[in-house]
């Protein structure tokens, strides 16, 4: 039996996760100095997840396109 096209996961369409696993949270907290080996896993402080916003690239106009658009007299 094959998988329907709508159900296939493409490698390029990885979404940004807004929840970290426990290991990732502990790593971030130790990096910031808010978690030590003596700290308990229960009642850990919250960790903010930074969202990456990608800006769109501006299109550069080519000189050739500008000259083609103008009419010669």
**What pLDDT, in 10s, does the model give residues 13-72?**
566 678 889 999 999 999 999 999 899 989 888 888 877 677 777 777 666 555 566 665
Which pLDDT score is estimated for 51?
A: 73
Angstrom distance (rounded) from CA 66 to CA 64: 5
- Note the residue count of the chain: 73
Query: What are the helix (H) ranges across the chain?
Result: 22-32, 63-69
Name the residue ranges covered by the structural domains of the chain: 17-46
Q: Tell me how far the alpha carbon of residue 44 is from its chain's centroid.
A: 25
């Amino acid at each position: 039996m094959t998988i329907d096209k709508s159900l296939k996961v493409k490698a390029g369409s990885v979404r940004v996760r807004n929840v970290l696993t426990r290991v990732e949270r502990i790593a971030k907290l130790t990096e910031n100095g808010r978690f030590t080996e003596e700290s308990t896993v229960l009642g850990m402080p919250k960790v903010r997840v930074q969202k990456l916003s990608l800006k769109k690239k501006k299109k550069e106009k080519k000189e050739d396109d500008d000259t083609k658009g103008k009419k010669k007299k």
